[in-house]
């Protein structure tokens, strides 16, 4: 037989595109059209409906960037269409190649209720299944003219303040038409068979069976009368569509989904509308297809619907009760997990799961994080303590270097906790359920022979409208189809239950799920990251002192509602395109403004509580919020600092510069303003490598291959400029309590002023760097070459730390050329180490070099600032204040203590006398992460602690108030199963035993 395969396949593609698909809607008549352009920001629905509309027509331009245009569409169903299925086709000027990244619309009835959304693959509205002639149509379309910002080029369209005012779109079509059901079904048949056929091997007989059936179907179609011949064509395809799948076919659990970034190439206010549009489509699709299941994560997005679209929220609640609309994830937003602090990660689950329970009476069991940029090794324990069972991710498939070896596995965290995890082999969270993607999932699945199933999230995301009737048609046809994986639309929990039952002994992956991509997100948008870190610290302070005042001060009211509202604001801004710095300028401008408001409000709450605790008096009391005592003031208490040790001295250094000393450290700053010695006087060890200079600012070119704000590629290291030119150096403070040397440098179009301070009694050199940054596509680092032979570095993460190799023996280690650390990063050899502390910096790199003297130099560098041009061309431009510190002779325990001290500054309030801590812990290895009152408003005190050094620890928790019981609880403050209730000992203490990095939440019942 001659091979005419390519001819038939080409014929199919052309006939589908040019004849059959256009025939789905026939006999169209235009609708009357009028418009109103809303001034400024979006208006309430009632205002849009009541506006003064002016006539317009298809073909007219509309919509400047970020504008809203309301269209009124009216018309009458022709009498000759009686009994036919009628739809309106409302095309705002869509580009079908970019669903979710352009204009969108939401159709309303005259009473303001929503009908459905308009998107590139969902531009129809059903008028009637069986129309009556003369039926009147009247709708109002709220159309958003969001600019297309996916070209990865610098643009000022990313902020309304700098965007243009020219129309971006042109109305393409506003018609009534007959919906030809049989033609639509034929389209679905042919598309599924085409996709399946082209995935089969050219030697597979099944491919040719489909080919011949398609050929016959195309022969049966009269191109001049597609509606009249569609049924005959479908008959030709019935046989190949009925052939059942092989018994060993891969099994796919298809879950409807619409991944909607809570902010990214659009501002937060537009996401509010995106989730309403998509959700309205989903509940409508559920009405028509009772088998359809849709999973939606992010409690914040459902809360927006509750607030701004209460009528839609009630429809969603009914579908949740029916089991079709499935909340997943259990987090407030799909947050970043690399940079979010430990307590903030807890609150993502606390407020996310609490919302789902309060609003819908359900507890989510899975954690749904397909798109975050890597996953902290602390997460498994947090997941389990939140009451969740399973974890899903997708983004690891984006790694540039190493292919992750599993798709279903147990993920083990830093404390040993394991969580059953799935990584869908379809390699997308926006599947179209087409044959190519399903075949890829089956081929790519790495558990063959042990497991047989995977999960596929399907639907258009980011405002593309979610799953469509076409997706469901593909799922139906591929449920049991020879040559295809078996597809079943079902809830995520159903998949996880089956996968776990089938593969309970899945392999184990221990440690972080590091994404070998998007490493620049540890640094981009420094002020957003600084706002997050400061807000986390301020929330800790506010809760601690407010809880202390609520217990100690009669009449003081704990600000439950204010703290919860602020927490949710901070959690929202931890979304994985806000905190990582990968959103448009509008998003980060608003984030900076929000963080300023958060700071002011939290400082007010803290001051009010501290003032109430201090009482009336003129004594200056220092409040210590850190979890360790300092300067004689206990953790969580206030008083007068004790003496700090030897006075600090400063002398001229031979050859230029200055020598600072305080009896514990001796620091030499040379004539270039660089730290050439940081000598640990107590251990007799030098921290700075021979011939090296620490606190060396370095600048690199920064032009990654694609994702500007997201990525740094390893080749950035090929070229580096050391910033050693000195403008000025002077001693600005000269003891006895502290000595400060200020160093000023100019480079490019920028300046950096660094203040290096050694304090009385301290074993850290504090460095404050004020940078006026005006570079483009540059990367600023601060280097610290250390005389330490370290095989690995330790980086603080949530509730502990992770170790990473300093060598590059394998591609896995080499790929981690940029890493994330929270408050500190540490390098040591047995018996002695050095820590680099920071107040708001997350990106670091660690390298090792062997010297001629046989010693090893371990260089730690902080990533301070970047200057990518997409998606925000002004990223990081302007003034910054960055704080970090060098701590020679520090162990892990010192790093933990000093990291908290740097991030939790003391506060001074005048009062009557010392304030005793609300509680105390007698082992510095056990860190108090949070002290607050219980969420149920019952007045119990919640204490969250963790073991911080990676070893076992015993500690006594001593409440400073009468307690009747101590209940070990989960993160939602519910008693853990088993013997979780402990009665305090006669002296009031509670005995604790913690395994390495264990998180313990204790609920103290007040007498």
DSSP codes, 687-706:
-BPTT--BSEEEEEE---SS
pTM for this structure? 0.97
Q: Which of 189, 371, 766, 940 is catalytic?
A: 371
Instruction: Specify the pLDDT at position 1.
Output: 61
Q: Are 673 and 696 in contact (CB under 8 A)?
A: no
Return phi, psi of residue 303, to 5°: -65, -35
CA distance 361 to 959: 34
Q: What are the distances in angstroms from CA 410 to CA 255, 373, 406, 419? A: 22, 20, 10, 6
Q: What is the DSSP letter of 375?
A: B
Please report the pLDDT score of residue 986 as a whole number. 81
What are the DSSP calls for 283-330, one per residue?
HHHHHH-TT--EEE--HHHHHHHHHH-HHHHHHHHHHHHHTSEEE-S-
Paired tokens of 656: 């230029």
The predicted pLDDT at position 168 comes to 97
3-state SS, residue 491: coil
Q: Which residues of the chain register pLDDT less than 70?
A: 1, 979-982
pLDDT for 4 equals 81
**How many Å apart are CA 592 and CA 596, to the nearest integer?**
6
Give burial (CB, 10 Å; 0-12/13-18/19+) of 111. exposed
Contact 264, 583 (CB under 8 A): yes
Nearest to 392 by CA among 292, 516, 253: 253
pLDDT for the residue 987: 83
Q: Catalytic annotation on 371? A: yes
Q: Which of 838, 827, 834, 836 has the alpha carbon at shortest distance from 902?
A: 838
pLDDT tens, residue by residue, 456-515? 999 999 999 999 999 999 999 999 999 999 999 999 999 999 999 999 999 999 999 999
**Residue 239: closest CA among 269, 203, 222, 214:** 214
Residue count of the chain, please give it.
1007
Structure confidence at residue 978 (pLDDT):
77
Contact 8, 214 (CB under 8 A): yes
């Amino acid at each position: 037989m001659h091979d005419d395969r390519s001819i038939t396949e080409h014929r199919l593609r052309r006939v589908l595109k040019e004849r059959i698909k256009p025939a789905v809607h026939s006999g169209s008549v235009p609708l009357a059209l009028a418009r109103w352009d809303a001034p400024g920001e979006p208006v309430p629905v009632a205002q849009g409906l009541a506006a003064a509309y002016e006539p317009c027509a298809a073909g007219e331009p509309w919509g400047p960037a970020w504008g809203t245009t309301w269209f009124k569409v009216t018309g009458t169903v022709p009498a000759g269409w009686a009994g036919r299925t009628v739809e309106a086709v409302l095309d705002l000027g869509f580009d079908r190649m970019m669903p979710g990244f352009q204009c969108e619309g939401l159709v309303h009835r005259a009473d303001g209720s929503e009908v459905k959304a308009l998107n590139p693959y969902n531009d129809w509205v059903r008028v009637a299944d069986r129309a009556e002639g003369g039926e009147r149509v009247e709708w109002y379309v709220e159309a958003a003219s969001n600019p297309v910002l996916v070209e990865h080029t610098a643009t000022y369209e990313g902020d309304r303040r700098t965007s243009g005012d020219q129309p971006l779109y042109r109305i393409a079509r506003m018609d009534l038409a007959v919906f030809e059901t049989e033609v639509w079904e034929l389209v679905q048949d042919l598309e599924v068979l085409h996709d399946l056929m082209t995935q089969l091997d050219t030697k597979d007989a099944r491919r040719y069976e489909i080919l011949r059936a398609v050929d016959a179907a195309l022969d049966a179609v009269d191109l001049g009368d597609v509606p009249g011949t569609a049924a005959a064509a479908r008959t030709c395809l019935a046989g190949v569509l009925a052939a059942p799948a092989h018994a060993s076919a891969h099994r796919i659990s298809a879950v409807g989904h619409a991944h909607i970034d809570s902010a990214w190439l659009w501002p937060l206010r537009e996401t509010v509308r995106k989730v309403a549009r998509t959700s309205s489509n989903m509940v409508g699709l559920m009405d028509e297809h009772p088998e359809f299941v849709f999973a939606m994560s992010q409690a914040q997005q459902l809360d927006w619907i509750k607030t701004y679209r209460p009528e839609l929220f009630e429809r969603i609640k009914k579908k949740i009760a029916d089991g079709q609309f499935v909340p997943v994830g259990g987090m407030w937003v799909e947050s970043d997990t690399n940079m979010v602090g430990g307590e903030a990660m807890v609150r993502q689950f606390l407020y996310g799961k609490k919302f789902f329970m309060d609003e819908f009476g359900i507890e989510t069991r899975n954690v749904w994080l397909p798109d975050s940029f890597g996953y902290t090794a602390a997460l498994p324990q947090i997941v389990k303590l939140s009451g969740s069972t399973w974890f899903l991710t997708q983004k690891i498939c984006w790694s540039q270097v190493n292919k992750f070896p599993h798709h279903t596995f147990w993920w083990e965290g830093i404390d040993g906790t394991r969580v059953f995890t799935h990584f869908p082999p379809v390699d997308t969270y926006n599947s179209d359920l087409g044959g190519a993607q399903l075949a890829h999932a089956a081929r790519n699945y790495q558990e063959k022979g042990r497991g047989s199933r995977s999960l596929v999230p399907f639907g258009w995301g980011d405002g593309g409208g979610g799953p469509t009737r076409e997706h469901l048609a593909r799922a139906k046809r591929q449920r049991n189809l020879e040559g295809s994986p078996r597809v079943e639309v079902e809830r995520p929990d159903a998949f996880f239950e089956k996968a776990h039952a089938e593969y309970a002994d899945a392999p184990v992956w221990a440690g972080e799920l590091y994404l070998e991509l998007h490493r620049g997100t540890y640094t981009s948008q420094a002020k957003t990251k600084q706002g997050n870190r400061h807000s986390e610290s301020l929330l800790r302070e506010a809760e601690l002192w407010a809880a202390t005042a609520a217990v100690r001060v009669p009449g003081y009211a704990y600000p439950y509602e204010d703290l919860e509202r602020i927490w949710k604001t901070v959690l929202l801004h931890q979304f994985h395109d806000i905190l990582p710095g990968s959103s448009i300028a509008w998003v980060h401008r608003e984030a900076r403004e929000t963080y300023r408001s958060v700071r002011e409000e939290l400082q007010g709450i803290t001051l009010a509580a501290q003032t109430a605790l201090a009482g009336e008096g003129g004594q200056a009391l220092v409040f210590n919020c850190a979890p360790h005592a300092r300067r004689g003031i206990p953790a969580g208490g206030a008083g007068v600092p004790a003496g700090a040790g030897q006075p600090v001295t400063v002398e001229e250094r031979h050859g230029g510069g200055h020598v600072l000393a305080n009896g514990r450290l001796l620091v030499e700053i040379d004539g270039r303003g660089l730290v050439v010695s940081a000598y640990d006087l107590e251990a007799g060890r030098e921290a700075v490598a021979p011939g090296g200079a620490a606190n060396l600012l370095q600048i690199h070119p920064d032009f990654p291959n694609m994702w500007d704000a997201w990525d740094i590629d390893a080749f950035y290291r090929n070229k580096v400029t050391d910033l050693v030119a000195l403008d000025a150096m002077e001693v600005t403070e000269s003891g006895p309590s502290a000595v400060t040397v200020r160093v000023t440098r100019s480079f490019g179009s920028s300046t950096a002023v660094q203040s290096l301070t050694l304090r009385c009694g301290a074993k850290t050199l504090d460095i404050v760097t004020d940078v006026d940054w005006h570079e483009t596509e540059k990367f600023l680092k601060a280097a610290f070459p250390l005389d330490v032979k370290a095989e690995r570095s330790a980086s603080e993460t949530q509730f502990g730390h992770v170790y990473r190799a300093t060598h590059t023996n394998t591609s896995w280690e080499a790929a981690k050329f940029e890493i994330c650390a929270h408050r500190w990063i540490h390098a040591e050899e047995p018996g002695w180490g050095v820590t680099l502390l920071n107040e708001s910096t997350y990106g670091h790199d660690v390298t090792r070099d062997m010297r001629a003297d046989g010693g090893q130099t371990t260089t730690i560098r902080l990533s301070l600032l970047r200057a990518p041009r997409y998606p925000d061309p002004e990223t990081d431009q302007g003034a910054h204040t960055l704080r970090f510190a060098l701590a020679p002779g520090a162990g892990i325990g010192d790093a933990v203590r000093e990291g908290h001290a740097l991030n939790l500054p003391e506060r001074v309030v005048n009062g009557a006398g010392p304030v005793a801590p609300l509680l105390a812990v007698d082992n510095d290895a056990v860190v108090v992460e949070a002290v607050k009152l219980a969420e149920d408003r019952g007045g119990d005190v919640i204490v969250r602690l963790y073991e911080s050094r990676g070893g076992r620890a015993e500690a006594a928790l001593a409440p400073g108030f009468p307690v009747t019981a101590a209940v070990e609880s989960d993160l939602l403050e519910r008693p853990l199963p088993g013997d979780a209730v402990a009665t305090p000992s006669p002296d009031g203490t509670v005995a604790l035993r913690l395994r390495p990095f264990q998180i313990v939440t204790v609920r103290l019942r007040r007498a």
